[in-house]
Amino acid sequence: MPRDFRGYSGRPPEIRWPDAARVAVSIVINYEEGAEFTVSGGDPRNESHHEISEEFVQRPDPCMESHYEYGTRAGYWRIMEVLDGFGARATLSSCGRAVEVSPWLAKDASDRGHEVSAHGYRWESHQGLTEQEERERIARTVRAIEAATGKRPVGWHTRSAASENTRRLLVEEGGFLYDSDAYNDDLPYFLDVAGRRHLVMPYSFDTNDMQFHRTHRYVTGEDFATYVNDAYDWLWREGKAGPRMLSIGLHLRIIGRPGRIAALEAVLNHIAKRGGAWIARRDEIARYWIERSG
């Protein structure tokens, strides 16, 4: 697959965000609960990642399952309360299977004004899937979200590695405005995919609460808030000269814990005090970029 090491080369498009904002802030809430692998659900193994990583257990694992259930039972509501307090709209990056299990959650998020985008059908990498398997997973994810919310998703993000076919299949499907299967820039950019102009909205793994689990890079909520606030401040400085975008990745079962949720509040307070932010859904940012890119 071709790679681009040059990008904008320090000369991004002359696009200004609404109200002269310096940074477009994209809050992405990953909704995966119910889409993880479980033996009790008929899978050959259980997911191994939660607060710690464990060896796969080849029988139903109520311990692991309850860690994921926390996200929908408690975490989601805390996150929504904080976002509502700031009038902030986010993108709920949703696995199709999770939406099928708890359609009420996707509908609630949509009714609150958040975007419900697609995060694959299962919480899995697409590496190793055949083209037909991947095509079917994309279609099933779209159907699940549309059935729950009355709106088809226009954004896509694959867990971990996409396949060599993913982006082309999204374009061929015809209804996707963007994908977030890249981590290589602070701004959206276009690619030619199957003869069509396709928008990539880069995502981020560093300004992401996954680091509480995968690396334990963050120990306290203050660790996470400090790092994200530092990222915002630097992009705010650069944003005087040209547009910048900050992706903040969250998970129901991670940031939604009572010992971490204050970090989200601290980040939103900091951004509000600093000013210069356009906190927007990913589909809003994508449409704005497309409209002003000619």
Question: DSSP readout, 111-152?
Answer: HTT-EEEE--SSSS--TT--HHHHHHHHHHHHHHHHHHHSS-
Q: Which of 28-32, 61-65, 102-106, 135-139 has the lowest mean pLDDT?
A: 61-65
Rounded average pLDDT over 162-189: 96
Q: Which of 4-13, 39-48, 229-238 has the lowest mean pLDDT?
A: 39-48
* pLDDT score at 53: 64
CB neighbours of 191 closer than 8 A, spacing ≥ 6? 167, 197, 198, 200
Closest CA to 161 of 109, 126, 211: 126
* pLDDT score at 213: 84
Residue 202 identity (one-letter amino acid): P
- How far apart (Å, rounded) are the C-alpha atoms in residues 115 and 127? 26
Higher pLDDT, 117 or 2: 117
* pLDDT score at 54: 63
CATH superfamily of 18-291: Glycoside hydrolase/deacetylase (3.20.20.370)
- Contact predicate 130/169, CB 8 Å: no
| pLDDT tens digits, one per residue of 233-271 | 999 999 999 999 999 999 999 999 999 999 999 999 999
Is 122's pLDDT higher than 90?
no
Would you state the structure tokens that stand for residue 217, as one six-digit string?
Answer: 């890079």
| pLDDT tens digits, one per residue of 208-236 | 999 998 777 899 999 999 999 999 999 99
Rounded average pLDDT over 72-83: 98
Would you state the structure tokens that stand for residue 41, as one six-digit string?
Answer: 């659900």
105 class by beta-carbon count within 10 Å (0-12 exposed, 13-18 middle, 19+ buried): buried
- How far apart (Å, rounded) are the C-alpha atoms in residues 102 and 98? 6
Burial per residue of 231-262, b for 16 or more beta-carbon CB atoms within 10 angstroms, e otherwise: bbeebbeebeebbbbbbbbbbbbbbbbeebbb
User: In the chain, where does DSSP find H-type helix?
Assistant: 62-70, 76-86, 96-101, 103-111, 131-149, 166-173, 221-238, 261-274, 282-291
Closest CA to 92 of 291, 284, 288, 252: 252
Summary mean pLDDT of the chain: 93
Q: Token match 């959206």: residue?
A: 188
Higher pLDDT, 124 or 13: 13
Is 52's pLDDT higher than 70?
no
Q: Where are the domains of the chain?
A: 18-291
| C-alpha distances in Å from residue 66, one per residue of 49, 62, 183, 195, 279 | 12, 6, 31, 45, 32
DSSP assignment, residue 72?
I
- How far apart (Å, rounded) are the C-alpha atoms in residues 11 and 14? 9
* pLDDT score at 34: 86
| pLDDT tens digits, one per residue of 277-292 | 999 999 999 999 999 9
The structure's pTM equals: 0.93
DSSP assignment, residue 27?
E
**What percent of the chain has a predicted confidence (pLDDT) above 90?**
81
Question: Taking CA 46 as the corner, what is the angle to CA 43 and CA 52, rounded to the nearest 5 degrees?
Answer: 165
